[in-house]
Amino acid sequence: MTWFDESRLDDETAIGAADLRFRTLAESGSRVRRECGNAADAIREAVGRLEGQGRPRAIIAAGPDSRLLRAVLEPWCPVPFVAWPGPALPGWAGSLDLVVVLAPDGADTGTASAVAEAVRRGCQVVVACPPASLVAEHAAGRYSTVFPIETQDQLATAVTVLSFLDQVALGPSADPEVVAAALDEVAISCSPYRDLSINPAKMLAIALADAVPLVWGGSVLAARAARRVAESIRRASGRTAIAGDVEQVLPVIEAARPRDVFDDPFADEGGELRPTLLVLDDRNEDPLLVQQRRRLEETAAARGVRVETLTTEAQSEVARYASLLLQGTWAAEYLRLGLVDD
């Protein structure tokens, strides 16, 4: 039987055994600084070339990671934008269009094929990938720029490209230092050497230890962070974790059996786990999202479903997304740390 031992969250021996995973999370901010610093010259080159060509007719985000760019850019982009995750490009793509590609490992053959097609059609091409990689080889061209990526970090790669798009007025504010500072703040507050009584990620792990997490984020970016957090929880615990919009999450809450104050708290030990609603709050005050959140929380209260909330004070939309994602990932790692086999 698997059970959760919260004492392991402050146990130095247990923490030491997971040092590599915690160190990887703690270095998230430094990876953003490193990748954006390494790509600074290439970004300046791409900015200068695009300014000389004028605003593109459309932006095509190619490759498997294109959906993150879509989540960030769709509400902001002043030109038509399309995410195209397949190994090709839309039939209409040509020399008037900008193709941006995130390829942190640079080895995906489908992405390399899409990049080669963009070069062949004469598109403006910006690719973030390792400089000695399959994708970089296919990106060689007169109108192409490769942003050199070393760490294979998806978030740092995305921030590098978003910083470029910000500088050419095709995307929202994405100052790498603001994003890195937000990630550093999370690393400090969620440090494994910070006592669980004041560590939000450890407290969240304890709250999720006996639950089926239902992760909800209202805005487009918060919803994407919710999906990534649920994925991290599933990977860390081997348990079910659901992320979805209000129509997907609400029926699960409504189906929960209401708590009875006379229930024996130990009667269901080892039995079915109850849902817990985890809200990712990125400070979006859209009236529709506020109404949806209130509906979820009121239904949860009526069914006796616990509600947990992740918040952030980061200064930009991209930084808030990064902060929420990292907080949830820290909590997933603490959940992994505390689960033991009897």
Q: What does the pLDDT average to over 121-133?
A: 96
pLDDT for 262 equals: 60
Q: Which of 317, 19, 27, 328 is nearest to 156 (CA)?
A: 27
pLDDT for 261 equals: 60
Better pLDDT: 163 or 341: 163
Please give the C-alpha separations between residue 153 and each of 24, 28, 36, 104, in angstroms, as whole numbers. 10, 8, 12, 6
Look at residue 266 and tell me whether its pLDDT is greater than 60.
no
pLDDT for 270 equals: 47
Residue linked to tokens 């130095």: 12
pLDDT tens for 203-236 read 999 999 999 999 999 999 999 999 999 999 999 9
Show Cβ contacts of residue 260 under 8 Å, excluding neighbours closer than 6 positions: none
Q: What does the pLDDT average to over 165-183?
A: 96
pLDDT for 263 equals: 61
What domains can be seen in the chain, in order of their start residue?
A: 2-18+192-341 (3.40.50.10490), 30-172 (3.40.50.10490)
Look at residue 265 and tell me whether its pLDDT is greater than 70.
no
Better pLDDT: 170 or 86: 170
pLDDT for 88 equals: 85
Q: Is the pTM of this model over 0.75?
A: yes
Q: What does the pLDDT average to over 34-43?
A: 97
Cα–Cα distance measured from residue 311 to residue 282, given in angstroms and rounded to the nearest whole number:
6
Look at residue 269 and tell me whether its pLDDT is greater than 70.
no
Q: What does the pLDDT average to over 81-96?
A: 91
Neighbours of 81 (CB within 10 A): 20
Residue linked to tokens 């959140």: 293
pLDDT for 138 equals: 96
Look at residue 99 and tell me whether its pLDDT is greater than 50.
yes
With a pLDDT cut of 90, the percent of the chain lying above it is 87
